[in-house]
Amino acid sequence: MKLLTYKILLFLKLIGREFKAQKLRMSLTVLAITWGTISITLLMAFSVGLEKQMNKANAGLGDGIVIVWGGQTTMPYQGLPQGRRIRFRSESGIIELIRSRVSGIEMIAGEFLRWGQAIEYKGQQINKLVCGTYPEYEKMRAHYAKPGGRFINRNDIELKRRVVYLGTNVADEVFGERVNPVGEIVNINGMPFTVIGVMIDKMQDSNYHGPDEDYVVIPASTFLLMYGDPFFDNLVYKVRDGINSKSVEKDLFRTLGAKYRFDPADESALWIWDTIEGAEMFKKVFLGITIFMWFIGGMTLFIAGIGVANIMYVAVRERTREIGAKMALGARGGQIIFQFMTEAMAISLAGGFLGIMISLAVTAIFRMLPMDGDLELLSNPTVNWPVALITVGTLSAIGFISGFFPARKAASINPVEALRYE
Amino acid sequence: MRNGNLVSLKGISKIYNTGKVKVTALDEINLDFGRGEFIAIIGPSGSGKSTLMNIIGCLDTPSGGAYLLDGHSVAEMGIHQLAGIRNKKIGFIFQNFNLLPYATAYENVELPMIFAGLPGNHRKEKIMSNLAMVGLSDRADHKPTELSGGEMQRVAIARALANDPEVILADEPTGNLDSRSGDEIIRVFENLNEQGRSIITITHDMSIAKRCHRIIKIRDGIIESDTRNGNGVN
């Protein structure tokens, strides 16, 4: 055992020497493996990061929600003409009706909107969209407040409180960045409102009335009191998990068709934006992207593999004379192959280690870089360990195999032939 | 067995079959070498002397005939046993040295001992005494590129002696050296022979051949002459 250890140590020492002697070739081999590992690991890291970010951005609008606007009928129904506008009167019990009749809906809220409202604080005034809505809106539309603040709640609705929840952008514009405005009073349309919360920073890739960071949200009841307009601009609902959003849509047409007396088959009576459909589509597109990435990764691995194989093969071939000399000194085939394989392993491990380390460093740097807007999708690359390890493993195996066969061949021929090799 | 011939060749032939043409490099050679001999093999290029040397050194296998080395039939040995023979019974010296370029003189001498599985603590003394024998004690840590041709060949001799072989085989050991370095090598051989070592060397140089005790002349794969020098021990 002691002898074996000594032998291995000595071989490693010789390999170290060889590393120095054949710096260029060894470094090229290490570089090939490092480069292959980095390419594939980073490719997949950005792919994973992209998917994460896109999912996050996708969820910025809300996860699995549907938005409904009242439309205009295009079919005569029960003696009523076509061309009637469908509008949701807030106090007609429409929300309660939908809740009780459409079982596939988990949550629903109406939304009042009014554009260009004066928001005033200490003499400064800006104009923003004001939204009046209900507590359910918070979860559905991912309107989460930063610590220390909150969204509209039940009591706000019941007591018609003059409280306001601000989008990130609005808060920054009115109060400046890094200021916590909770508890401050702002005037909306001349009426004082207490700030109860500011939205967290979130990514949002789609919207229907402008990004949420530009929202000013007040209780629906307060909105009604202030503006007196009884019609919801739109409804937002969330479909229960596992329920098909299309069937919920049908139920909704039937329920509202009965209420507003339009033909449930009249598709123009309600305008529906099904974000779930979009999400499904997105999943398919991303599956395509992922397959493409894997394909590119596979090709890269293949090319790196050829590079490693080539270097290893040439390396062993050009040392055939050395193998001959060692055999003339009494080395056995096994000892020679062992040396080459130890060498291949050292090179592979060094290359793989470097490759993974550099990949980790690059992804860490990307995560630290401040990247907003369009680049935000690239800001969260994540090293996929199985991919990294499989890459290193494959390249090492290729290096091994392409070194093993010429080494075994050189070790099995007559030493005199190996010595004669030029 | 120890009293028999060290090397005994009976009807050894080597035929290279290169597709259409058969080349007979050795044609039924019969030769015996005793212990302690200092032999020169001479002959023109292509005469078959290197082939003969390679067969004696177990680097190549004959096409026919019987080869007894120290009483053991080489033809019946497997590759592992042959590796063992090359390692322990034969010390080979090449015209172009064949030292590992990235290893020091010390490590080059150590190599056959590693192949033999000799424990580390037994090596150092032997390596240093071998290097001292060829006058290179102060060059132990030098790499081949830092040594002259004559020094490299002396490292190769120290390496050939690493496992105390029965015979030293040298294939034109002075072929790549200037005459002064070549003379040093031959003097090392003479010293070794005086200590009782068997040495067989191929040479082109008649002045070297004359310093050996027995000259075997080969031409076209057959032994043309086998003479003993008058000033030899035998």
pLDDT for the residue A109:
95
Query: What domain range is A381 assigned to?
Result: 10-59+280-420
A75 occurs within a structural domain: no
pLDDT digits (tens, 9 = 90+) for A236-284: 999 998 889 999 999 999 999 999 999 999 999 999 999 888 788 888 8
Residues in chain A closer than 8 A to B25 (CB atoms): none
Q: How far apart are CA B167 and CA B93, in angstroms?
A: 11
* Of residues A67, A61, A49, A65, the one with CA closest to residue A203: A61
Q: Is the confidence at residue B2, as pLDDT, over 60?
A: no
Cα of A325 to nearest chain B Cα, Å: 6
A272 occurs within a structural domain: no
Residues in chain A closer than 8 A to B156 (CB atoms): none
> Which tokens go with A306?
């050829």
A74 occurs within a structural domain: no
Helix (H/G/I), strand (E/B), else coil: A218? strand
Q: Is the confidence at residue A295, as pLDDT, over 70?
A: yes
Q: Tell me the mean pLDDT in the region A288-299.
A: 87
Residue A201: band (very low, low, confident or very high) from pLDDT cuts 50, 70, 90: confident
Q: From B117, which residue of chain A is nearest by alpha-carbon distance?
A: A3
Q: How far apart are CA B63 and CA B24, in angstroms?
A: 10
- State whether A302 and A381 are in the same domain: yes
Domain B35-48+78-228: homologous superfamily in CATH: P-loop containing nucleotide triphosphate hydrolases (3.40.50.300)
- State whether A98 and A224 are in the same domain: yes
Q: What angle do CA B183, B184, B188 make, to 5 degrees?
A: 115
Lowest mean per-residue pLDDT among A124-133, A177-186, A406-415, B145-154: A406-415
Of B61, B99, B114, the CB nearest to A7: B114
> Best mutation site among B50, B77, B79 for testing chain A: the one with the most A CBs within 10 Å?
B79
Q: B11: which DSSP letter?
A: E
- State whether A248 and A113 are in the same domain: yes
pLDDT for the residue B1:
42
Cβ distance of B84 and A17 shorter than 8 Å: no
Helix (H/G/I), strand (E/B), else coil: A418? helix
Rounded to 5 degrees, what are φ and ψ at B154? -70, -35
* Contacts of residue A125, Cβ cutoff 8 Å, sequence gap at least 6: A118, A119
**Token pair 């019941």 is at which residue?**
A158
pLDDT digits (tens, 9 = 90+) for A328-361: 998 888 888 887 787 778 888 888 899 999 999 9
Q: From B109, which residue of chain A is nearest by alpha-carbon distance?
A: A329
The yes/no answer to whether this complex scores an ipTM above 0.85 is: yes
Q: How far apart are CA A51 and CA B140, in angstroms?
A: 61
Q: Is the confidence at residue A1, as pLDDT, over 60?
A: no
Q: Tell me the mean pLDDT in the region B80-85.
A: 90
pTM of the model: 0.65
Q: A75: which DSSP letter?
A: S
* CA-to-CA dists, residue A329 to A19, A371, B99, angstroms: 22, 63, 11
- State whether A255 and A285 are in the same domain: no
Cβ distance of B83 and A7 shorter than 8 Å: no
pLDDT for the residue B5:
87
pLDDT digits (tens, 9 = 90+) for A35-47: 888 988 888 888 8
Q: Is the confidence at residue A199, as pLDDT, over 50?
A: yes
Cβ distance of A330 and B86 shorter than 8 Å: yes
pLDDT digits (tens, 9 = 90+) for B28-78: 999 999 999 999 999 998 899 999 999 999 999 899 999 999 888 988 888
- State whether A107 and A197 are in the same domain: yes
**Token pair 């290193």 is at which residue?**
A392
Q: How far apart are CA B55 and CA A162, in angstroms?
A: 106
What's the total number of domains in chain A?
2
A273 occurs within a structural domain: no
Most confident listed range (A18-22, A155-159, A352-356, A372-376) = A155-159
Cα of B46 to nearest chain A Cα, Å: 15
Last residue of one domain, picked from the residues A212, A227, A261: A261
pLDDT for the residue A2:
60
Residues pairing with A68 in the sheet: A235, A272
Q: What is the mean pLDDT of chain A?
A: 87
Q: Is the confidence at residue B232, as pLDDT, over 50?
A: no
Residues pairing with A273 in the sheet: A67
Size of interface A-B (CB pairs under 8 A): 83
A5 occurs within a structural domain: no
Q: How far apart are CA A130 and CA A125, in angstroms?
A: 14
- Class of residue A123 by CB neighbours under 10 A (exposed 0-12, middle 13-18, buried 19+): exposed
Q: Tell me the mean pLDDT in the region B187-211.
A: 92
Cα of A288 to nearest chain B Cα, Å: 52
Of A3, A21, A416, the CB nearest to B102: A21
A200 occurs within a structural domain: yes
- State whether A200 and A315 are in the same domain: no
Helix (H/G/I), strand (E/B), else coil: A265? coil
- State whether A129 and A215 are in the same domain: yes
Rounded to 5 degrees, what are φ and ψ at B207? -65, -30
Residues in chain B closer than 8 A to A324 (CB atoms): 98
Helix, strand and coil in chain A, % to nearest 5? 60, 20, 25
> Which tokens go with A157?
């609705």
pLDDT for the residue B233:
42
Cα of A350 to nearest chain B Cα, Å: 20
Rounded to 5 degrees, what are φ and ψ at B91? -115, 115
B163 touches chain A (CB under 8 A): yes
pLDDT digits (tens, 9 = 90+) for A206-244: 888 889 999 999 999 999 999 998 999 999 999 998 889
- State whether A285 and A233 are in the same domain: no
pLDDT for the residue A10:
66
pLDDT for the residue B234:
40
- State whether A105 and A214 are in the same domain: yes
pLDDT for the residue A135:
95
A193 occurs within a structural domain: yes
A356 occurs within a structural domain: yes
Residues in chain A closer than 8 A to B107 (CB atoms): 13-14, 17
Q: From B62, which residue of chain A is nearest by alpha-carbon distance?
A: A414
Q: Is the confidence at residue B219, as pLDDT, over 50?
A: yes
B57 touches chain A (CB under 8 A): yes
Residues pairing with B92 in the sheet: B169
Lowest mean per-residue pLDDT among A75-84, A368-377, B175-184: A368-377
Amino acid at A371: M
